[in-house]
Amino acid sequence: MEHTPHVLVVGAGPAGLATAISAARHGAQVLVVERHRSTSIHPRASGLSTRTMEIFRAWGVADAVRAASSTVIARSATGVTLADGELTESALGFPFPREALAVSPTYPACCAQDHLEPILLDAARAAGVEVRFDTELTDLAVDDHGAWARVRDTITGTPDTVRSRFVVGADGPRSRVRTALGIVTEPLGGLGPAAQVLFRADLSRVLPGPRHALYWLTHPEGTGLLIAFGTASGTDRWGFARLGVTPDTVPTDAEWVAMVRAATGVPDLEPELLGAATFDLAAELATASRAGAAFLVGDAAHRMTPIAAVGLNTAVHDGHDLGWKLAWAARGRAGEGLLASYVTERRPVGERNARRSVRAGETDPSDGMVGDLGTRYGDQALVDPSRLTAAPGERAPHVWVSVDGRRRSTLDLWDGRLTVVTAEDSWRRAAAEVGVDAPVLDDPRGRLSRAYRLGSGGAVLVRPDGRVAWRHDAVATDPATTLRGAVARTLGLASGDAANALFAASTRTNSPVVPREGEPLPVA
């Protein structure tokens, strides 16, 4: 059987599901294949940044994510044991809610990955994405025009062929897509091997009040990192991680219990052990994040250590950025320039965050909200989020406005469309002619005009991912022609094609010949 989606995504982790949701919400037909039987059964990462929660808010899943999150202080605490009463608090790079809400309509969350992925899976399926578990990629052929892929049901052994306009490798640090493309990785260093045990235990005797997201504990018999992996309705699930543990030296259950008792300072604690795993805390960077119609996201493009807690967030941001671009291109609404922007915009961020993740104990200009909300695409400058000026490449600033009498964040306006922010009727008429949105925004106190620097005749064009694409700061003699050119450049199209492309129907070319099992895949 041949499958012909616009986009084939290999991998159903946060990067793959984010890519699929973004693409599907913009009209693409998406197939996700995942070799595992289900979403992750391990907590893995848990810190969700302000920008990640903004994206989840746009997708309508922020409330569900918040309900599945731990109620913790987004900071770390250090001490000999949990019971010693002398814990020292330090920052983790996440703002307090009040700090985030000064520049955003939302704030960070602490949601374990095994709780997050089912929420994203439901969102993907609700958007029309087909997700097939127990399905592995076995062969791949790609050129500039599309991809052929062979996949196999790991339960029945049944093979299938997928013909897609684009393929996305979201299959982790040992990516089969990346290998098939001949892309190698550059090692960036790391923190060495480690192991973690997951357990349930009531620690209220030593933690009677609010819990921190993680604790670094230095008892000689229980040195390690204690991580909160619970939910809003129960915070009794924890992870205890130790550095320097190899697969050959994994502690026994009895040894894990002894270490957890020493670290918590509760000698009679009876933890319920849920399983242990080993991993290598290493960072590496793929030498390329695109090859023709194939793209890499998340760990397939840039593996990171947990330092600075940016790995999962970077993966979600990759998928959010790439998905809409693939959808618009697959449907004939955008050209090569928009596709190429994924590499020029996201690859520098991935490299910066991967290199940052191997520098433990250091501060970095990109830490916290500056890197999360303040990265300006193009020159990759870092801007304090409170000082964003709606310059091209920046995240469009959050401002509370009134739309048709309803209070909304400007961030609620972008998803699914190109949007012109302006106070001028001439630009609104031009937007209607070109085919982009230009909502009437009630701004009685002038906050929007100040945040977007909307002087006389001014207009700002915002992309569906919330990035400023273009601005005009003077009265235009021909607003429609000026805007049409800006839209064309944003979408990577010839200027004359811009208006028609915005209304183009889905277009793709599928080969009528399906190769037999065992035959080499043709190029697309």
Claim to verify: residue 348 and residue 224 sit in the same structural domain = no
Total domains, the chain: 3
pLDDT of residue 234: 62
As a whole number of angstroms, the distance between CA 182 and CA 179 comes to 5
Amino acid identity, position 321: D
User: What is the side-by-side strand order in the sheet with 7-10?
Assistant: 130-132, 30-33, 7-10, 166-169, 294-296, 290-291
| 497, 502, 506, 511: CA torsion to nearest 10 | 30
Would you say 49 and 371 are in contact if contact means Cβ atoms under 8 Å apart?
A: no
Does 77 fall in a domain? no
Work out the percent of the chain whose per-residue pLDDT is above 90: 81
pLDDT of residue 505: 33
pLDDT of residue 512: 30
Does 171 fall in a domain? yes
Claim to verify: residue 427 and residue 462 sit in the same structural domain = yes
Determine the structural domain holding residue 292 and report its residue range: 2-70+108-187+283-356
At 333, the pLDDT band (50, 70, 90 cuts) reads very high
Does 368 fall in a domain? no
Claim to verify: residue 181 and residue 54 sit in the same structural domain = yes
Does 208 fall in a domain? yes
Does 94 fall in a domain? no
Does 99 fall in a domain? no
Buried b / exposed e across 367-402, counting CB within 10 Å, b at 16+? bbbbbbbbbbbeeeebbebeebebebbbbbbbbebe
pLDDT of residue 494: 74
18-56 pLDDT, tens digit each: 999 999 999 999 999 999 999 998 888 899 999 999 999
213-224 pLDDT, tens digit each: 999 999 999 999
Collapse the DSSP code of 73 into the 3-class scheme (helix H, G, I; strand E, B; otherwise coil) and give the result: strand
143-192 pLDDT, tens digit each: 888 999 999 999 999 999 999 999 999 999 999 999 999 999 999 999 99
As a whole number of angstroms, the distance between CA 196 and CA 212 comes to 18
pLDDT of residue 125: 98
Claim to verify: residue 171 and residue 298 sit in the same structural domain = yes
pLDDT of residue 497: 60
| Mean pLDDT over the full length of the chain | 91
233-249 pLDDT, tens digit each: 566 899 999 999 988 99
288-321 pLDDT, tens digit each: 999 999 999 999 999 999 988 899 999 999 999 9
Report whether pLDDT(360) > 90. no
Does 508 fall in a domain? no
Does 316 fall in a domain? yes
pLDDT of residue 507: 32
Quote the tokens at residue 128. Answer: 């029309």
pLDDT of residue 500: 55
**Residue 134 maps to which CATH number?**
3.50.50.60
Sign of the Cα pseudo-torsion (24, 26, 27, 30, in order): negative
Claim to verify: residue 125 and residue 178 sit in the same structural domain = yes
The pTM of the full predicted model, rounded to 2 decimals, is: 0.93
